[in-house]
């Protein structure tokens, strides 16, 4: 049968049927490429749960990043319910469908609200099934706010999304990624290349237009973190075996690398390296600080240089780092040893000479 966008339930994919009509009410994790039918699957499942499995007073809560996304799913649920279960839908009176609710004659219903940044506006609901659409982009605060809703009634959750990275900027794992490894979830993985409604010609053009990373994330539903990095956490952990520096020896070659963060949430990082006689380089010390003025960062570098007498000082001069780099270049103590290490640019020395192009990856490789 040909796919009908207005009646998608007539041509459901095998994974959609398994997800929608499963009688067991448990946690589901859906890692999906774009336009593979996850919103359709979740909207139909929400109706099936209310009509065939829930009892009076039990509700589905749909959360999306924005209200518009939530309305879209609720609208799909309403169309399906009116077509398949028309006698069960309350269509008139005070309980008629709105942008936030779809109620049924048996006392069950579907609620729909935006997740917001923290989920604070959702506190107070008691929910039998929580459906989080685009969960990879929802905050940790949201999940903290909504999880208790399911405790008293023995509820469960369905969380679905295209991936959006495994880790937060501080290195901690995102909630959505943690769910992908949680055996309490029944997991569904759906690539756009496995979806019969995607035309191969379209996907081929997207592969040509997009970067490999973008295509892998958006269409193949792959967490691309490993594709963006040269070194795994395991390799770094295995290599970081040197003991911290306890005594500074003035006949050694020390180098300093600085990643400037300014007044934001990111940390300013100072990395002290030593070049050994055999040419190897070992990390000797590292320091991190938050919310520094550029003048404070420069002052710390001057003090560290007085202690270590660095051979070279490398500074990421992009953004707020430019101010620090400028101060170092204007000071006789540091101008001959300071190098600008803009990850996407060229190195610049004291004479303003631009040498070969050095990307971040080239720095790491060499």
pLDDT in tens, 280-316: 888 888 888 887 788 889 999 999 999 999 999 999 8
Nearest to 8 by CA among 195, 162, 187, 200: 195
Domain spanning 234-365: which CATH class is it, in words? alpha beta
What pLDDT shows up at residue 170?
77
Domain 8-228 classified CATH 3.40.50.300?
Answer: yes
User: CA–CA separation, 44 vs 73, rounded Å?
Assistant: 9
pLDDT in tens, 68-124: 999 999 999 999 999 999 999 999 999 999 999 999 999 999 999 999 989 999 999
Q: Which residues pair with 31 in a beta bridge?
A: 161, 189
Spatial CB neighbours of 206, under 8 Å, sequence gap ≥ 6: 215, 219
Q: Give the alpha-carbon dihedral of 104, 110, 112, 117, to 10 degrees.
A: 150
| Token duo for residue 287 | 């320091």
Q: What is the DSSP letter of 263?
A: T
Which segments of the chain belong to CATH 3.30.420? 234-365
What pLDDT shows up at residue 133?
96
What pLDDT shows up at residue 266?
78
Q: How far is CA 91 from CA 56, 78, 81, 107, 137, in A?
A: 18, 10, 11, 14, 34
Which segments of the chain belong to CATH 3.40.50.300? 8-228
Instruction: Kindly report the number of other CB atoms within 10 A of residue 270's CB atom.
Output: 19
Q: Give the alpha-carbon dihedral of 237, 241, 247, 252, to 10 degrees.
A: -90
Nearest to 59 by CA among 141, 135, 134, 122: 122
Q: Which residues of the chain have pLDDT under 70?
A: 226-233, 241-246, 343-366
Strands (E), 202-266: 253-259
What pLDDT shows up at residue 251?
82
User: SS3 for 183?
Assistant: coil
pLDDT in tens, 13-26: 999 999 999 988 78
């Amino acid at each position: 049968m040909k796919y009908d966008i207005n009646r998608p339930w007539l041509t459901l994919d095998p994974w959609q049927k398994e997800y929608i009509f499963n009688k067991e009410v448990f946690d589901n994790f859906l890692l999906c490429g774009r336009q593979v039918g996850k919103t359709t699957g979740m909207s139909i499942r929400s109706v099936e749960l209310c009509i065939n499995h829930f009892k009076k007073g039990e509700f589905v809560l749909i959360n999306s990043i924005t209200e518009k996304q939530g309305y879209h799913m609720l609208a799909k649920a309403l169309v399906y319910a009116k077509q398949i279960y028309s006698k069960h839908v309350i269509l008139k009176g005070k309980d008629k469908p709105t942008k936030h609710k779809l109620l049924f004659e048996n006392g069950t219903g579907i609620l729909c609200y935006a997740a917001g940044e923290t989920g604070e506006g959702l506190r107070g609901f008691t929910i039998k099934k929580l459906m989080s659409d685009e969960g990879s982009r929802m905050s940790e605060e949201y999940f903290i706010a909504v999880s208790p809703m399911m405790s008293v009634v023995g509820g469960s959750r369905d969380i679905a999304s295209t991936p959006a990275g495994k880790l937060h900027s501080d290195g901690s794992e995102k909630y959505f990624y943690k769910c992908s490894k949680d055996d309490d979830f029944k997991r569904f993985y759906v690539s756009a290349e496995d979806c019969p409604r995607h035309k191969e010609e379209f996907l081929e053009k997207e592969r040509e237009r997009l970067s490999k990373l973008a295509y892998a994330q958006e269409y193949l539903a792959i967490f691309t973190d490993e594709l963006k990095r040269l070194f795994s956490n395991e390799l770094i952990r295995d290599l970081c075996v040197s003991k911290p520096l306890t005594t500074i020896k003035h006949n050694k070659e020390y180098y300093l690398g600085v990643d400037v963060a300014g007044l934001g949430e990111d940390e300013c990082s100072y990395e002290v390296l030593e070049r050994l006689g055999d040419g190897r380089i070992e990390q000797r010390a590292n320091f991190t600080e938050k919310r520094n003025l550029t003048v404070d960062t420069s002052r710390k570098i001057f003090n560290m240089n007085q202690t270590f007498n660095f051979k070279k000082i490398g500074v990421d001069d992009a953004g707020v780092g430019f101010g620090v780099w400028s101060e170092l270049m204007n000071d006789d103590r540091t101008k001959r040893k300071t190098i600008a290490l803009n990850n996407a640019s060229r190195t610049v020395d004291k004479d303003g000479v631009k040498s070969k192009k050095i990307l971040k990856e080239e720095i790491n490789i060499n």
